[in-house]
Structure 1
Amino acid sequence: MDIETSSDPTLLLPDYSTISDSNFTQMLLTLMPNIMNQNEFMELLNHKEILIFIRELTKLVNRFNYSQLQHEQWSYYYNLGMTEGIWNGRVSKKMADANSMCYTYGRSKNLIKQRLDKYKLQYKKAQEAINEHMKKAPISIDMQNLTTMINNLINKDQNQLRLELERRKTMLRLDAEEHRPVEKFYVLKPRQTEINSAKIIWKAINERENIIHEIAIFKKWLAVHAQESTYSLHTEHIAEQTITKAEEIVQHYTKIATIEKNKLQSTKSHHKNADLLEPIIHAIFQRVNNMQQRRENELQAILTNIFKLTPVQHINYQIKRQHD
């Protein structure tokens, strides 16, 4: 689900055409404004032509809102590119593998402009379709209250979609910033020993974050299934052992990164240009901080998609990162 929604956010878009009449009616009733009479509204919904009109209006507003969200999203990308120069970029796969990084990032200017035009046209057409459909509104319907009800329903149902689009904004920036400290590091012309240490540190941190993700997902999975009849004391014991072993691996990778950092700092006394060493170390760990932020955002998205958590429902997935 996480992979699919990352490439196709329409999978997070509610499809009101597949919902039964009774379920659709119930969804509307739960979001009725207080000033509306529920009995009168239910009576209206018993008329097939009125229910069809409302369902079609809901689908049109749903598509309009989606197009607007996407237009706002691509406007953000465009403004980010214009103000901060975050467009598409890439490094060789060999370079990416050596430095534990993605080889592509950002969006091209042409692609962003195409998407802006596409969604601007989409929401204009959707607005026109809504206006045309509203001309068919039955005289017995209070359109102001109905519109409020439909908007409330769609805002609720598109919440996960909005969260996914916000995540993409954050990830675009973090992906781009992931490359900046790496570029800055090499611009400083580090010695080969410093390059080797940087690669070791970045690889260790990358592997550590992978394990932290696995622990977090496993813990949440256990919490979800703990009440099932097949969940026994034996299962719990095995789970605890697994988590303990995984946390030991996390600390192992933390230790590798710490040793390399200490090794770098210990060379300052006999460095040809000691003043250059501090910015080199800073660039290395600026990249480490960005790696952690990026992976934490990824993890929250995975937990949200798999377990339907909201952002305030963070589980305790943080593993103590000693000596970062």
Structure 2
Amino acid sequence: MQPLKNILINNDNSIDYTDVPDEIFLEMLSTAFNGNTDRLNCLFNEKEKIEFVRHYTALIDRLSYVKLQELQWNYYHHIGITQHIWTRRISKQLAEKNSICYTYGKSKVLIQQRRKKIQKQLQQTQYTIHLFEQQILSKTALYSDCYSEIKSLSSILHTFVYEHQQKLRNEFEYKKQKLILDATDHHLVQAFFDLKPDKLQITTARNVWKATANQTMINEQVAILEKRLSSKHTPPPSTLLDHMIDHIDKVLSTPNDAIDQNVSTNITHDQFEKMNQLKHDIIQQSIITATNMSHNYLDMSLKKNYEESQPSEIQNAVINAMDTRRLYMIERAKYLLQYKLASNFD
């Protein structure tokens, strides 16, 4: 029989199953064989059993991953055909002026190429799994019929892989939604300019959109800080404040025995409590300051720009287009923040 390690697995698997404890694989194997794995003893030793199940899991994970890619790129093709959402790119300078992403989507050619490539990967992976199963079955047939048990194990592993790929499915769904959000945002900006606004109206809109973008960024920081107060998980640091809090967390997470062994470190329990309270105070004060900045900044910006644009100088249609895009920016930011919090803290 061909050694298991020679069965092909591509290197872009979504999950590394080498970190999964051996006990979990043995438990799944035992479940598939109704607790009686003695029949496999003549085929594998204990280490080979684990290698067998771990490898089988990796193959199934690869197949599931390719199927997710197939669904993803089929969606890009569908949305392109039905809603004409392909790729679009504008200059970074123009994107900054309008507070918008400068690129989104996939080209029609790229989508076609990827769909063809994925079909080949799918066929190859399905054949690899079929070959693997046939080799196992042919070997077990020499001693006992394990067909039903192998199929049961396959079902268990599919469920196991499905559960572990939840984060990956969430990521793919996020990319789908973000594509629609970005395309719609560009459409709303274009709808505003299609009304032929004058220079003052364009300046007003851009100032309002910039204020809204700043508000959403501040709101994001506030939400992340609030999460840090109650969550043990922390996102990658992106600001000086994040680095400061991370440094305090590292000190607070230092094991007591490690501190005891280090004679140069004289940190008492009371000092630990004070540092922990300091961290909470920093976060709380940052939340209060950021919240006030967010409200005041947007209110002042909106008031200033709307006062500069008298009703006689700006058409209602232009005002509505500008405000529609502003409200959409807020809703778009809420969705992006929701995903960011879920992926970093859950």
Instruction: Name the TM tier (shorter chain).
Output: 0.7 to 0.9
The CA deviation string for residues 109-140 of structure 1, in whole angstroms up to 9 with x for no partner, is: 11111111111111111011111111022333
Q: Give structure 1 stretches of 5+ with no counterpart.
A: 1-9, 310-324
**Contact 2:25–2:53 (CA under 8 A) maintained in structure 1:** no
**Contact 1:88–1:107 (CA under 8 A) maintained in structure 2:** yes
For 2:36, the aligned partner's letter is E
Residues 256 and 118 from structure 1, CA distance in 2 versus in 1: closer, same or farther, beyond 3 angstroms? farther
Counterpart of 1:187? 194
What is the CA–CA distance in structure 2 between the aligned matches of 1:212 and 1:220, rounded to whole Å? 12
**Contact 1:17–1:59 (CA under 8 A) maintained in structure 2:** no
Report deviation, 1:250.
0.9
Residues 295 and 29 from structure 1, CA distance in 2 versus in 1: closer, same or farther, beyond 3 angstroms? farther
Report deviation, 1:153.
0.3
Counterpart of 1:267? 310
Structure 1, 297-306 or 225-234: larger mean CA deviation: 225-234
Report deviation, 1:91.
1.6
Structure 1, 115-124 or 298-307: larger mean CA deviation: 298-307
For 2:279, the aligned partner's letter is T
Counterpart of 2:185? 178
What is the CA–CA distance in structure 1 between the aligned matches of 2:182 and 2:58, rounded to whole Å? 35
**Contact 2:181–2:332 (CA under 8 A) maintained in structure 1:** yes
Report deviation, 1:12.
8.5
Report deviation, 1:299.
1.6
Residues 12 and 251 from structure 1, CA distance in 2 versus in 1: closer, same or farther, beyond 3 angstroms? farther
- The one of 291, 294, 311 aligned to 1:247: 291
Counterpart of 1:120? 119
Partner SS, residue 106 of structure 2: coil
What is the CA–CA distance in structure 1 between the aligned matches of 2:50 and 2:103, rounded to whole Å? 48
**Contact 1:201–1:260 (CA under 8 A) maintained in structure 2:** no
- The one of 249, 273, 280 aligned to 1:236: 280
Counterpart of 1:322? none
Identity %: 31
Report deviation, 1:257.
4.5
Counterpart of 1:133? 132
Report deviation, 1:68.
0.6
Relative to the length of structure 1, the TM-score reads 0.80
Q: Give structure 2 stretches of 5+ with no counterpart.
A: 1-10, 233-248, 254-271
**Higher gyration radius (CA):** 2
Report deviation, 1:259.
1.2
Counterpart of 1:157? 164
Partner SS, residue 65 of structure 1: helix
For 2:105, the aligned partner's letter is G
The CA deviation string for residues 250-281 of structure 1, in whole angstroms up to 9 with x for no partner, is: 102320343156437x722x24xx7xx22212
Counterpart of 2:344? 306
Taking the TM superposition and a 5 Å limit, the aligned residue runs for 1:190-209 are 190-209=197-216
Q: Does 1:256 align with 2:300?
A: yes
Counterpart of 1:13? 14
What is the CA–CA distance in structure 1 between the aligned matches of 2:115 and 2:229, rounded to whole Å? 43
Counterpart of 2:223? 216
What is the CA–CA distance in structure 2 between the aligned matches of 1:42 and 1:153, rounded to whole Å? 23
The CA deviation string for residues 148-204 of structure 1, in whole angstroms up to 9 with x for no partner, is: 100110000000000000000000111111111111111101121111110111000
What is the CA–CA distance in structure 2 between the aligned matches of 1:218 and 1:187, rounded to whole Å? 40
Q: Does 1:280 align with 2:345?
A: no
What is the CA–CA distance in structure 1 between the aligned matches of 2:40 and 2:338, rounded to whole Å? 43
What is the CA–CA distance in structure 2 between the aligned matches of 1:280 and 1:42, rounded to whole Å? 77
What is the CA–CA distance in structure 2 between the aligned matches of 1:279 and 1:220, rounded to whole Å? 40
What is the CA–CA distance in structure 2 between the aligned matches of 1:84 and 1:40, rounded to whole Å? 55
**Contact 2:74–2:115 (CA under 8 A) maintained in structure 1:** yes
Relative to the length of structure 2, the TM-score reads 0.75
Matched residue count: 288
Q: Does 1:25 align with 2:26?
A: yes
Structure 1, 17-26 or 199-208: larger mean CA deviation: 17-26
